[in-house]
Structures are given as structure tokens and as C-alpha cells.
Amino acid sequence: MPLRHLKRVRVQFNPLDPRSTAAREFLARVTTAKAAKSNPECAVEPRVRNDAAPPVVAVEFASGARDQFNVHRMTVDDIARRIKTVSDQMAVKQSLAEAGLKLEDLRFDVRGT
């Protein structure tokens, strides 16, 4: 799980709650050496709770944008895909900016005409 474009990842869960499987797996992925190497500046913050609240993943992107979501009905791949989608959008915007363009300035004709 690459951590590019991420400033902080917080994973909150009760380890005894069966709904926490995806959160625990996600935490395991983002704490690997490979993930840390992809962005050594990204802070990974596990928060173990002892309440009945659903597991939560909160991310802060380098741009300052934040996303927080309950993961009790998600798989670890769903969590990664959600974060990757936003990261990919940021990468596209950065590439366009380096080329002197803005995403808002591009006009797409979805009708094919």
C-alpha cells in the first residue's frame, strides 16, 4: 500500500470487535517497510479503543484534504481503493499543473462529437 500524497493515516478500532478485521489488515499494510519507504514523512497512528464504536480510518493528504470513514463493512482492498482514488486524482492535478494546465480548464466531450 503506497502512502504517496499522504501526510497522516489514523486507524481506530477495538481489537476484540469482529468488525475490525479490515482495519487491522489495513494497519498491517501501512506499517510495512515497503509502505514506509513509499513516503517516510507519513505518520501512521494506530488508536486502539475499548468501546463499541465502529472501526474508522482517517487520512490527511499532503494537500491538507481530509477523509474519514467507517470501515466496518469494507474490505482492506476497499479501503486502499478509496485512498488510491483520491491519491491518483492528486497525481493527475500535479502533472497538469507541472504542464501549466488546470483540470478545470480541460473540457471533455463525453458524446464523442
Domain count along the chain:
1
- Please give the helix or strand (H or E) that residue 89 lies within, else none: helix 76-98
107 located within any domain: no
Query: How far is Cα 15 from Cα 78, in angstroms, rounded to an integer?
Result: 20
pLDDT digits (tens, 9 = 90+) for 56-102: 999 999 888 899 999 999 999 999 999 988 888 888 888 888 888 87
94 located within any domain: yes
- What's the rounded mean pLDDT across residues 30-52? 95
Residue 28 has pLDDT above 60, yes or no: yes
103 located within any domain: no
| CATH number assigned to the domain comprising residue 22 | 3.40.30.10
Q: State pTM to two decimals.
A: 0.80
89 located within any domain: yes
Determine the 3-state secondary structure of 9 from DSSP: strand
Residue 107 has pLDDT above 60, yes or no: yes
Domain that holds residue 53: 6-98
pLDDT-derived band of residue 113, with 50, 70 and 90 as boundaries?
A: low
105 located within any domain: no
106 located within any domain: no
48 located within any domain: yes
113 located within any domain: no
Q: Which long-range contacts (CB under 8 A, 24 or more apart) does 86-93 make?
A: 86/5, 86/61, 87/2, 87/4, 87/5, 87/6, 87/61, 90/5, 90/61, 90/62, 90/63, 91/4, 91/5
